[in-house]
Amino acid sequence: MTHQFPDNFLWGASTAAHQVEGNNTNSDFWLMENLEGSVFKEPSGSAVDHYRLFREDIARMAEMGFNAYRFSFEWARIEPEEGRFDPAELGHYRDVLLACKEWSITPIVTLHHFSSPQWLIKQGGWEAAETPARFARYCAHVMNELGDLIPYVCTINEANISIGIKKIMKRHELQSGAQGAQVGMNMDRMAQMQKYFEELGKAFGVPHTEVHSFLAPRSEKGLEIIFQAHMEAKAAIRLIRPQTRIGLSLSLYDIQSRPGGEEQAAHALQEEFLQFIPYLKDDDFFGLQNYTRVLYGPDGILPIPDGAEITQMGNEFYPEALGAVVRYVAKHLEIPIMISENGIATDDDTRRVVFIDRALKGVHDCISEGIQVLGYMHWSLMDNFEWQLGFAKRFGLIEVNRATQERTIKPSGLHLGNIAKRNAIEQA
């Protein structure tokens, strides 16, 4: 049986600038990766050199059958010093947007995807009251310069990620090897980090407890600052480019309960999603990012069930999570949904093909029920730098030989591209 998607459905894949571009020397992550005793397993270096090779990567997406690309601009490149915007870097991202236009690829631009300018962190980072205004100023400058080429903009990637990080740490306690649903954390090194923290504080010129990068443990005030940054950026963008559709993305598990765990699951849903609806309800779309489910019992998070298939990230292989999350987002938030990330880390590409098919079956069912889903952006376009875990985790539809930077489209990439070309999935 064939399941047809809407004719205007956006099919594509996602990347994040720091994970693919390479040599992002003004960012906080670059500094953290290169410290002595770093918690990062390896530095990003030249990554997969997407900064230089973006044209052929975008052309390859079109060849595969995609019509959309979600990627990020790097704030640390565009504003390397506070108030100084680099015209050459803005020109680079204009070239990326023009390459999308040349290949009929719809760009979905994320303005902040985890990495920040070093100067921002030195001034209090994502706990500082001034950060929302600074972020809005950067967003306004970008949209003034490039907004004519940006139909969709995501202000902040996974604005709720600090909540997810707490759960990652809890899962690591329960199940050795669990490394995080949405972001690569080197949990094996976390227990030995005191020396690293001391070096980190020296590098930023503040006490290490005051180094507030986007992925650092966060206070309630810090979480509020992130969402305030979204609100201020949204207002600034709408003044400059009202035609551009604006949203942000959240990291969401499929939250399920076992008998007695209903109250714990309801609390998790409130904590991870529902409390943020006031910030999102007048957005133009919602960026939904999902990789797996999490189970709750009477005492909180349960271990992954015995015998379940586990991905390289220590997650349960559970593509059905996506459809479930689309449904509960649609139940509470009446704006269109963009699936901005969904995928698995695995060296067995046949499992990625299965994951894609089962995830898309859930998406199609949601569309059939009347839920407005704008598109599906697979994570990730290419194997890339998975933050603290380095290059070992394979999320990509495209394999990259980092010695030569040669790209090879995996069967899963051809498979998803063929679905996009047909705009349909086949189900037995």
Q: What's the whole-model pTM score?
A: 0.95
Over range 162-174, report the average pLDDT.
70
Residue 71, pLDDT above cutoff 70: yes
Lookup: tokens for 189: 């090194």
Q: Backbone phi, then psi, for 147, in 5-degree steps?
A: -60, -25
Distance CA 204, CA 310 (A): 38
**For residue 174, pLDDT beyond 90:** no
What backbone phi and psi angles, to 5 degrees, belong to 142?
Answer: -60, -45
56-72: average pLDDT: 98
pLDDT, residue 198, reads: 84
For residue 167, pLDDT beyond 80: no
pLDDT in tens, 342-351: 999 999 999 9
CATH number, position 231: 3.20.20.80
pLDDT tens, residue by residue, 88-129: 999 999 999 999 999 999 999 999 999 999 999 999 999 999
Query: What's the pLDDT score for residue 428?
Result: 44
Between 197 and 355, where is the model more confident?
355
Give the helix/strand (H/E) hosting 211: none
pLDDT, greater one: 21 or 166: 21
Look up the domain containing 218 and give its range. 2-426
Contact 296, 179 (CB under 8 A): no
Could you give the percent of the chain with pLDDT greater than 90? 86
Distance CA 247, CA 107 (A): 14
Looking at residue 181, its pLDDT comes to 45
For the cut 80, the answer to whether the pLDDT of residue 193 exceeds it is: no
CA–CA dist 100, 55 (Å, integer): 8
Q: What share of the chain is helix, strand, coil (3-state, %, to 5)?
A: 45, 15, 40
Q: Give which of 160, 398, 103, 379 is closest to 279, Cα–Cα.
A: 160
pLDDT higher than threshold 90 for residue 427? no
Confidence of residue 178 (pLDDT cuts 50, 70, 90): low
Residues labelled as active-site residues: 158
Query: Which residues on adjacent β-strands are paired with residue 286?
Result: 337
Tell me what the mean pLDDT of segment 408-426 comes to: 93
Q: How confident is the model at residue 151 (pLDDT cuts 50, 70, 90)?
A: very high
82 band by pLDDT with thresholds 50, 70 and 90: very high
The span from the CA of 268 to the CA of 256, in Å, is 10
pLDDT of 124 reads 96
Q: Which of 219, 215, 224 is nearest to 164 (CA)?
A: 215
Per-residue model confidence (pLDDT) at position 185 = 62
pLDDT of residue 171: 61
Please determine, for residue 176, whether its predicted confidence score (pLDDT) is greater than 80: no
- Residue 184 is predicted with a pLDDT of 62
For residue range 198-256, list pLDDT tens digits in order: 889 999 999 988 999 999 888 889 999 999 999 999 999 999 999 999 999 999 999 99
Q: Do 399 and 410 touch, CB atoms closer than 8 A?
A: yes
52 to each of 70, 142, 155, 289, how far by Cα in Å? Answer: 18, 21, 24, 28
Given a contact cutoff of 8 angstroms between Cβ atoms, the answer to whether 72 and 113 are in contact is yes
Question: What CA–CA distance (Å, rounded) separates 353 from 37?
Answer: 38
Please tell me which residue, 18 or 193, carries the higher pLDDT value.
Answer: 18
For the segment 256-277, the average pLDDT, to the nearest whole number, is 98
Cβ(108)–Cβ(68) below 8 Å: yes
Domain count for the chain: 1
Residue 328 confidence (pLDDT): 97
Q: What is the pLDDT of residue 164?
A: 74
pLDDT of residue 186: 59
pLDDT at 14 over 50: yes
